[in-house]
Amino acid sequence: MHRSPTAAVAALALLAAANLVGCTGGSAPPAADGSAAPAASTAPLPTAPGSSPDSAGSTELTGMVGTADDPDAYAIALLDASGSPVTTLPAGDYSLTFSDRSDIHNIRISGPGGVDEATEVRGSDESTVEVSLEPGTYTIVCDPHSGTMRVELEVTG
């Protein structure tokens, strides 16, 4: 989470305003005549910034063999969430989804930390695995064609 100092100040001002409302609005007199008082005494608390439930989780990656048009193409790549090939990444936890729709290729990622995840050559595999990438060099290969279908990923600390 990256928050600018300006946003932090604004959040503090918001909290101060909320406290002020809480102090002055605590002693509303009861409605004695039975008429319905306007329900304005309980203002909802402002949601704390940065507490959304979807902020947890790991960065998404796609390991792709072939191309979108031709699953049997002799191509292999690691893609980020926007679909762009990546060759360097910061160390951390990643959610890697395979895109292997070929009967002649597979995809394997291996490297530091004992990471070794692969699909089968036969059949399709579009499953997702969680990987913890440590600083160092990982290789992404198609096992039957590891001489040509091979990319390296540099993970930085």
Give residues in contact with Cu ion (CB under 5 A): 105, 142, 144-145, 149
Closest contact distance (angstroms) between CB of 145 and Cu ion is: 3
CB-wise, 96 or 142, nearer to Cu ion? 142
> In whole angstroms, what is the distance from residue 78 CA to residue 80 CA?
7
Closest CB to Cu ion among residues 57, 144:
144
Measured from the CB atom, is 101 or 145 closer to Cu ion? Answer: 145
- Mapped onto helix, strand or coil, the DSSP state of residue 127 is coil
Cα 83 to Cα 60: distance, rounded to the nearest angstrom: 10
In angstroms, give the least distance from the CB of 113 to Cu ion: 25
- For the chain, what's the residue count? 157
By the 8 A CB rule, do 96 and 133 touch? no
Shortest distance (Å) from residue 149 CB to Cu ion: 5
Question: CB of residue 114 vs Cu ion: minimum separation in angstroms?
Answer: 24
Q: Half-sphere exposure (CA, 13 Å, Cβ side) for 136?
A: 12
The smaller minimum CB distance to Cu ion, of residues 80 and 143, is found at 143
